[in-house]
């Protein structure tokens, strides 16, 4: 089969790779219905995270179970399933606590930008939809594999509560879905920091009440203006730079919480500065698996439509163009169809 492989900075190729097979009795192999390009992989694409050897790329997936190992019980051939970028057993202490991305037996699921994918620990990782989905639901179901679950975790980690004021740093797909998540959780006011018109529009569709186009300390000043000098109750950080992290911390009121889901690159925090700010920090790779049943239900009943973040759809063979479009910000997020 042919799939995406990253060779180095800006070099994604669609090339021959071995087709996946069942390697362990707990594996499943799925036939991909749709996959996509993740903003977190742009760090690698831009050469900020290095590639040691050609590596199968992509970690967001949904599709039809084609084959299962002899020990798999909870999913079967022919079901439509979604899973997270980390496979998890869903039984260890960390999984039971709701942190499946810290599973004691976690395995990274890589190489999803391909027609077929091996998913380890299928029982603990994959969740089936109630039935085969209609085609128009596939983008929103695919979004649950990472980006929507990550936005949701960001909002949850930021302790979003009904009626509260939420600020979102970052207008990429995760930031936009953090807006949607905050609204679902009943936030009273959702301020999103964004300077691009198409993204501002989608943020409003998802329930943003205020848009702040400034960055850095200017953005913090605007948040303070908007909250009568208090700061936001909850802030979701969806970028991962020093500037965005400080913007999040300084925008939070004393006693407030920051959920950080942008993969940090070169971020360092000053302990004493943090001490006197009185804020909570919680983040990390989103335990998407925890949220899958609830989010599948919301999508299945058409209560949320996270698939709107896909503003570019390409055939899988054009995966390299999918990365270019996101790298240059021509696209918010690229969906790929095998
Ligand atoms: Zn586990």
Helix, strand or coil, per DSSP, at residue 12: strand
Token digits of residue 147: 């980006």
The pLDDT of residue 324: 96
Distance 182 CA to ligand 1 centre (A): 27
Res 54 pLDDT > 90: yes
Phi then psi for residue 205, to 5 deg, are: -60, -40
Distance 87 CA to ligand 1 centre (A): 9
Distance 90 CA to ligand 1 centre (A): 5
Distance 206 CA to ligand 1 centre (A): 33
Res 50 pLDDT > 90: no
Distance 37 CA to ligand 1 centre (A): 26
The pLDDT of residue 40: 86
Question: What's the mean pLDDT in 248-277?
Answer: 96
Question: How far apart are the C-alpha atoms of 62 and 83, rounded to whole Å?
Answer: 7
Q: Provide the mean pLDDT of the chain.
A: 97
Distance 147 CA to ligand 1 centre (A): 21
Distance 95 CA to ligand 1 centre (A): 4
Distance 189 CA to ligand 1 centre (A): 36
Distance 122 CA to ligand 1 centre (A): 12
Question: H helices then E strands: how many in the chain?
Answer: 12, 18
Distance 105 CA to ligand 1 centre (A): 6
Distance 25 CA to ligand 1 centre (A): 17
Pairing of strands 28-36, 61-68: antiparallel
The pLDDT of residue 48: 86
Q: What percent of the chain has pLDDT over 70?
A: 100
The pLDDT of residue 39: 87
CA atoms 71, 133, 111, 199: torsion sign: negative
């Amino acid at each position: 089969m042919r799939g995406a492989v990253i060779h180095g900075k800006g070099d994604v190729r669609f090339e021959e790779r071995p087709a996946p097979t069942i390697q362990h009795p707990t594996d499943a192999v799925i036939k991909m219905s749709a996959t996509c390009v993740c903003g977190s992989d742009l760090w690698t694409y831009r050469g900020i995270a290095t590639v040691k050897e050609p590596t199968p790329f992509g970690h967001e997936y949904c599709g039809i179970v084609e084959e299962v190992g002899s020990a798999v019980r909870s999913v079967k051939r022919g079901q439509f399933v979604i899973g997270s970028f980390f496979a998890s057993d869903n039984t260890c202490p960390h999984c039971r606590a709701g942190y499946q991305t810290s599973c004691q037996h976690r395995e990274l699921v890589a190489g999803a930008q391909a027609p077929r994918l091996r998913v380890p620990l299928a029982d603990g990782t994959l969740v089936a939809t109630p039935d085969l989905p209609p085609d128009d639901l596939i983008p929103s179901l695919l979004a649950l594999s990472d980006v929507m679950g990550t936005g949701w975790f960001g909002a949850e980690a930021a302790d979003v509560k009904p009626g509260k004021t939420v600020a979102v740093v970052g207008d990429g797909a995760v930031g936009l879905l953090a807006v949607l998540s905050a609204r679902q959780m009943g936030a009273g006011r959702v301020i999103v920091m964004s300077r691009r018109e198409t993204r501002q529009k989608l943020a409003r569709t998802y329930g943003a009440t205020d848009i702040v186009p400034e960055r850095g300390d200017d953005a913090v000043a605007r948040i303070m203006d908007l909250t009568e000098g208090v700061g936001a109750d909850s802030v979701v950080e969806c970028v991962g730079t020093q500037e965005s992290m400080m913007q999040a911390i300084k925008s939070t009121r004393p006693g407030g919480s920051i959920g950080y889901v942008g993969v940090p690159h070169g971020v360092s925090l000053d302990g004493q500065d943090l001490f006197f700010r009185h804020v909570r920090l919680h983040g990390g790779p989103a335990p998407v698996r925890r949220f899958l049943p609830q989010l599948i239900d919301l999508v299945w009943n058409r209560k949320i439509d996270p698939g709107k973040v896909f503003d570019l759809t390409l055939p899988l063979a054009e995966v390299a163009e999918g990365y270019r479009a996101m790298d240059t910000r021509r696209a918010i997020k690229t969906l790929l169809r095998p």
